[in-house]
Amino acid sequence: MLIKTHRDGFIHPIGSEITPQSAYQGRRDMLKLMASGLAGAALASWASREALAQAQRPGKLAALAAAKSNAAGAVTMEKLTPYKDATTYNNFYEFGTDKADPARNAHTLKTTPWTVEIDGLVKKPAKYQLEDLLKLSAQEERIYRLRCVEGWSMVIPWVGYSLSKLIEKVEPLGNAKFVEFITQADPKTMPFVGSRVLDWPYVEGLRMDEAMHPLTLLSFGMYGEVLPNQNGAPVRLVVPWKYGFKSGKSLVRIRFTDREPKTAWNKAAANEYGFYSNVNPDVDHPRWSQATERRIGEDGLFAKKRKTLMFNGYEAQVGQLYAGMDLKKNF
């Protein structure tokens, strides 16, 4: 497979110097409601943050040890990546190309109000406010303890629900074969939008069956807290068997189409970044081997690299999606 870097980062604890509490308190309250099982009732009467605060229950979203998934056998119980390592080492090129840049710069992102437009080949196009998207999670929210890989790897407890829940609601037409994901591109709040690194806005895409897989997540939080700005607030995609750059952040549009989307990294370097970008240790990037990976938090002087697993260890869950395909050609 291809990619070594792009697009995954994580959250400081509440009170962090990176993101002021006022910037995410409302969304944090919402996630608490999701975990407590009160999301449906509370969201139905979304009137104010004060009302949410009255309805919320104390504590984290859920005990990480009780993590569960609606894709049987898919949740890993590997050791979580520490906050300290995960929060300051990620890619979000709208805020800079150094892995420390997003944590330094993403405080400028404005996440309220937030709208995600659903359009293209669907029966029910719509513009969803963030709270509308969260309503769909009333019976579906999960904490998914999943691996993610970009040439390095992490183990992250994502909070969200299967994207298929939203797809079913908008009812794709029969000729909808792909789903395109478009990220916010606001040069006023994202200082590196307009740079020559990529063609903005950042665009990613999945085949319809990939998008419908239960492990493809619409995520609103991680580590039991709301997503911080540098990690793709307020809503992002998570596709754990692919390289991290496939998981678009700060989504503003989801479009259904009959043609394979032109994705950001594929447009930037088609020979390096294929459309599928599944984790495949047998396909080298043109400039480095993909056979091993470095687990963040285990990268000391004498730490050994890990053997990269096919489909990032989720072959049993997703391998059938690619039966009969040439995975060296369709990288």
Domain membership of residue 5 (yes or no) is no
Per-residue pLDDT, 51: 26
Per-residue pLDDT, 304: 79
Domain membership of residue 12 (yes or no) is no
For residues 267 and 199, the answer to whether their CB atoms sit within 8 Å is yes
- The answer, yes or no, to whether residue 92 has pLDDT greater than 60, is yes
Using DSSP's 3-state secondary structure scheme, residue 224 falls into coil
The conformation of residue 177, written as its DSSP 8-state character, comes to -
In terms of residue numbers, what domain contains 90? 21-322
pLDDT one-digit tens code per residue, 25-79: 454 555 555 444 444 333 333 222 322 232 232 233 333 223 334 444 466 778 8
Per-residue pLDDT, 300: 66
Strands 225-226 and 142-149: unpaired
- Total domains in the chain come to 1
Is residue 118 within a helix (H) or strand (E), and if so which, with residue range? strand 115-120
- Tell me if the bond preceding 113 is cis, omega within 30° of 0: yes
Give the Cα separation of 19 and 12 in Å (integer): 8
The conformation of residue 66, written as its DSSP 8-state character, comes to G
Output the domain CATH number for residue 219. Answer: 3.90.420.10
Q: How far is CA 3 from each of CA 49, 158, 160, 278, rounded to the nearest angstrom?
A: 41, 22, 25, 10
Give the Cα separation of 190 and 184 in Å (integer): 9
Domain membership of residue 14 (yes or no) is no
Structure tokens at 38: 């009160």
Domain membership of residue 202 (yes or no) is yes
Give the Cα separation of 274 and 265 in Å (integer): 8
Per-residue pLDDT, 61: 33
For residues 7 and 249, the answer to whether their CB atoms sit within 8 Å is yes
Domain membership of residue 112 (yes or no) is yes
Name the band, by pLDDT with cuts 50, 70 and 90, for residue 281: very high
b/e 292-303 (16+ beta carbons within 10 angstroms → b) = ebebbbeeeeee
- The answer, yes or no, to whether residue 1 has pLDDT greater than 60, is no
- The answer, yes or no, to whether residue 105 has pLDDT greater than 60, is yes
Rg (CA), the chain: 19
Domain membership of residue 317 (yes or no) is yes
Instruction: Collect all residues with Cβ–Cβ distance below 8 Å to 126 and sequence separation of at least 6.
Output: 117, 118, 170
Domain membership of residue 158 (yes or no) is yes
Domain membership of residue 11 (yes or no) is no
Per-residue pLDDT, 136: 81
